[in-house]
Structure 1
Amino acid sequence: MTRHALVTGATGGLGRELVGQLRAVGYQVRATGRDRAIGARLGAEFLPADLVTDPLEPLLGGVDVVFHLAALSSPWGSRAAFEAINITATRRLADAARAVGCEGLVYASTPSIYAEPRDRIGLTEDSPVGPRFANDYAATKYAAERLVLAADAPGFRSVAIRPRAIVGPHDTVLLPRILRAGRRGRFPLPGGGRALIEPTDVRDAAAAFVAADRRLAAAGGQAINISGGDPRPVRELLGQLFARIGSAPRLVTVPTGLAMTMAGAMERVAALLPGRPEPPVTRYSVMTFGFSQTMQLDRARDLLDWVPRHGIEAMIAHALPEAIDA
């Protein structure tokens, strides 16, 4: 029997890959997202919608499982915007999906909830988070994850996937920021780039979401970490990225403590400017590049029968042709 899926955030990088993988294995896919032009090219039924304000029943009719990827994903922004898009929209979607009889919801959470100004190695799903978070993005995503998992019940299973640093050809978050910084000719590296980073190929991330639906009974009520499983020093990863595009910015070592202080000052200035523009460096970006964060993937393997299949070199080759122009 054909399974019917709704993918929110379908016009983002992970959403586009997930729609393609679902269609390839026989799902009937309905999609929604911000970009109508991209939506029209997905090869799925596309229904534009505002998940914060619009009625959600038209999106959910006949749907078996919801893949909720839509979010405000940024290191900077207003608290009200993060709460509306990340919490209110998620609550409305979970409530509506359960009310119309959907069988499950697979939610895109984030390991940003673990971010701190210290190294964190071998994180499990039970590693402590909060009560203070690195930014409003992490705080609101964790609040949304909690309400999704609280909705898990017989007849409506919910799962939260925490993909680490997704890299793919339609990335609008990580790679574009790195490449823009590299074009300036100098790339400040907190701690000299010794910290370990563990990016996830977008193809592997999407496969984990498909696997979560296939194993809803076992995975229901669980948060699950995923990553590429191959931690590398930030300096090495940047070297591969810049070599791929023929760029050679000077990597400048900055002590992590100084980087955190400078980023905090930039944030305070940006918060006072009209429109609160994103500062050149945020404390969260320093945490991302200046402190190690690696995952244990036992739960993903045991519950989803999932392991990453694409190495970092293949990931970069797959991602960069379009990311270069972002």
Structure 2
Amino acid sequence: MDDISPTRLLLGALAAVLAIGILWVGKLNATLKKTPPEVLAVSPHRWTEAEMRAVYDRIRAKPVDWASHLPPRATLAGGGDRRYIITGGSGGVGGTIVLHLLARGHPPEALRIVDFRPPDRPELTTGAVARVDFVRADITSATGTTAAFDAPWPAAVRDLPLTVFHTAAVISHADRSMITYERVRGVNVDGVRHVLDAARAAGASVFVSTSSASVAYRPVEYWGNPLRRWPRNYWQAIDEADFARPLRPHPQFFGNYAYSKAVAERIIAEANAPGFRTGIVRPANGIYGTTSTTDQIVGYCLRVGTFPSWIRNIIQNFVHAGNVSLGHLAFEAALLQDDRNGNMPKCAGQAFTVTDDGPPTMFDDVYNLLKVIVATPPIKVIYLQPGLMLVLAYVVELFDLASRLPVVGRIVPRPQGSLAMLQPAIFSASTNHIATDTAARRSVEDGGIAYRPLVSTMEGVCQQVLDWNIEHGK
């Protein structure tokens, strides 16, 4: 028998490794297409077509009335006459807060939007909201932020107490390397410091900031023990328990965005004081319902009509932008209350998760609702294989990081557009997260903010689809 050459041995070893890799990816792909029974137990009911049509018809007959469910202005300290600065007020959550403040009866001259771009959402450019003051500012600049806060107010409101709603942020779920951390730190950490300093200097007494429930997410270990039934952290219970613990190291967050938000939360909590009360709102999962032109969840599906997905079986809590705004306004009302001894309420300096009403939602439920209810364009979902997309995500990340190196970056192209978002961190962000808003729903006396979401996810999506259908004439 001839001796086996080293080349043949090497090729055989490579073939074996390749075969094992293919088998491993195949097993993982089959696993990722399933929903763990522990998660299904929390959300066992799938939306039926009859339910979808019934809820849509009810919403069409009586659209969601956010104005009547806002914390009443008259219940705020001093009778509710206040000034408001909304950083990021041109965006989804910030713009919704602006609309809710006007609906509650605050005059336009008592509001100011501080953002790097003026409002362009249709609902923010007509009517009373068009008279709201806009000051352009880059919050990565301390002097620019201070100047925006120090701009003069109309005489009728300049002496009113001031509340600041800080909603500005850089949202980038794909990045997880410290090489790219500077992209989010400038706005999400340094910007928070600048806004806090400017708010204190301007005499603000209440400061409520938008964070994210993703602060509590742990990275999913997709390539751990191949004999495990599920990848580690494939489903997670999300609450605010991490906020009371020391800050985790960067690698224990799903990505740079969550880490930057966690760092910012500590800064905001440390700033809390009797004369400058702070609070943090953590919207669960992504936020939908802002507008069909900017919303990157439901609005994105409506805009493109045909879109890919590999997470149809994933269950998460959704949260409508209107419910997020309710969380901010409820937090403000809570912070303006003193306890029986005249001290700050227990919620001051704390973080609270907010979600839609009802159980968490499977993505396929939302897809099916869009297919049934949307008038035009017809909704079509291209279902992709999650295991293959995960492997591709590592390739995209490798190119992205290599393109940032001093020498290699000259020859390696950087992924652009939607492809740049396809990186491993996205998979940890879009796994099964079961969030709870129990703490936020507690009364102020019991340490909560008396949060009451107005809509469930089915109701919220139906309202957004109704607006879309009306806009498109059907």
- Specify the TM-score bucket, using the shorter chain as the normaliser: 0.7 to 0.9
Distance 1:172 1:247, change over 3 A: closer
1:217-256 matches, within 5 Å, as 217-218=344-345, 219-229=347-357, 230-245=359-374, 246-255=378-387
**Pairwise CA distance, 1:267:** 1.6
- Aligned partners of 1:29 and 1:45 also within 8 Å: yes
Q: Distance in 1 between matches of 2:332 and 2:392?
A: 43
Q: Pick closer, same or farther for the CA change 1:140–1:4 going to 2, 3 Å.
A: same
Counterpart-to-counterpart distance in 2, 1:276 and 1:261: 15
Question: 1:306 and 1:209 mapped to 2: Cα distance?
Answer: 9
Q: Distance in 2 between matches of 1:252 and 1:275?
A: 24
| 1:14 lines up with 2:144 in the alignment | no
* 1:99 and 2:99 correspond: no
Using the TM superposition, name which of 125-134 and 146-155 deviates more: 125-134
> 1:101-131, CA deviations, whole angstroms, 9 ceiling, x for partnerless residues?
2102101001122233224444220047742
Q: Is the 8 A contact 1:158 1:221 kept in 2?
A: yes
- Residue pair 1:32, 1:47 contacting (<8 A) in 2 also: yes
Alignment of 1:256-267 (within 5 A): 259-267=389-397
Measure how far apart 1:253 and its partner are: 4.4
Alpha carbons 1:169, 1:322 under 8 Å: kept: no
Further displaced range: 219-228 or 119-128: 119-128
Judged with a 3 Å threshold, the aligned counterparts in structure 2 of structure 1 residues 182 and 287 are, in CA distance, closer, same or farther, namely farther
Instruction: Give the 5 Å matches for 1:36-55.
Output: 36-38=118-120, 41=126, 42-43=129-130, 44-53=132-141, 54-55=143-144
Partner of 1:201 in structure 2?
A: 320
Task: State the 1:92 CA deviation.
Answer: 0.7
Where is the strand percentage greater, Structure 1 or Structure 2?
1
8 Å Cα contact 2:173/2:257 also seen in 1: yes
Q: Say whether residues 1:79 and 2:79 are aligned partners.
A: no
Superposed displacement of residue 81, structure 1? 2.3
Shift in Å at residue 162 of structure 1?
A: 0.3
Q: Deviations over 1:246-282 (max 9, x none)?
A: 2232424434xx5433322222123325455252522
Q: CA deviation at 1:322?
A: 5.3
Length-normalised TM-score, structure 1: 0.87
Letter in 2 for 1:149: A
- Report how far residue 60 of structure 1 moved: 2.9
* Residue 416 (structure 2) aligned to one of 277, 284, 290: 277
| Cα distance in structure 2, aligned partners of 1:155 and 1:207 | 23
- For 1:308 and 1:33, the matched residues in 2 are separated by 27
- 1:211 maps to 330
Distance 1:25 1:126 in 2: 33
- Residue 240 of structure 2 is matched in structure 1 by 125
Paired residue type of 1:249:
V
AA matched with 1:241: L
Contact 2:174 2:424 in 1 (8 A): no
Partner of 2:436: 296
1:123 partner amino acid? I
Larger radius of gyration: 2
SS at structure 1 position matched to 2:144: coil
Distance change >3 Å, CA 179–CA 265, structure 1 → 2: farther
Q: 1:140 is matched with which residue?
A: 260
Q: What residue is the counterpart of 1:64 in the other structure?
A: 162
Aligned pairs (5 A) from 1:113-192: 113-115=215-217, 116-117=219-220, 118-127=233-242, 130-131=248-249, 132=251, 133-164=253-284, 165-170=286-291, 171-175=294-298, 178=301, 183-184=306-307, 187-190=308-311
Secondary structure in 2 matching 1:31 = strand
Q: Is the 8 A contact 1:205 1:226 kept in 2?
A: yes
The answer to whether the Cα contact below 8 Å between 2:301 and 2:379 also exists between their aligned partners in 1 is no
Does the CA contact (< 8 Å) of 2:315 and 2:360 recur in 1? Answer: yes
TM-score, normalised relative to structure 2: 0.61
Report the residue type matching 2:297 in the other structure.
L
Distance 1:266 1:177 in 2: 22
Asked if 2 retains the 8 angstrom alpha-carbon contact of 1:73 and 1:173, the reply is no
Residues 204 and 196 (structure 1), Cα distance of their counterparts in 2 relative to 1, 3 Å cut: same
Name whichever of 36-45 and 129-138 sits farther off: 36-45
Partner Cα separation in structure 2 for residue 319 and residue 268 of structure 1: 38
CA, structure 1 residues 277+207, in 2 after alignment: closer, same or farther (shift >3 Å)? same
> Take 2:393 and 2:468, find their aligned partners in 1: how far apart are those partners?
29
Residue in structure 1 matched with residue 452 of structure 2 by the alignment: 307
1:3 offset after TM fit, Å? 0.9
Q: Tell whether the 8 Å contact from 1:152 to 1:158 is kept in structure 2 after alignment.
A: yes
Distance 1:242 1:197, change over 3 A: farther
Aligned residues: 318
Extract unaligned runs of 5+ from structure 2.
1-78, 151-157, 221-232, 336-343, 404-411, 443-447
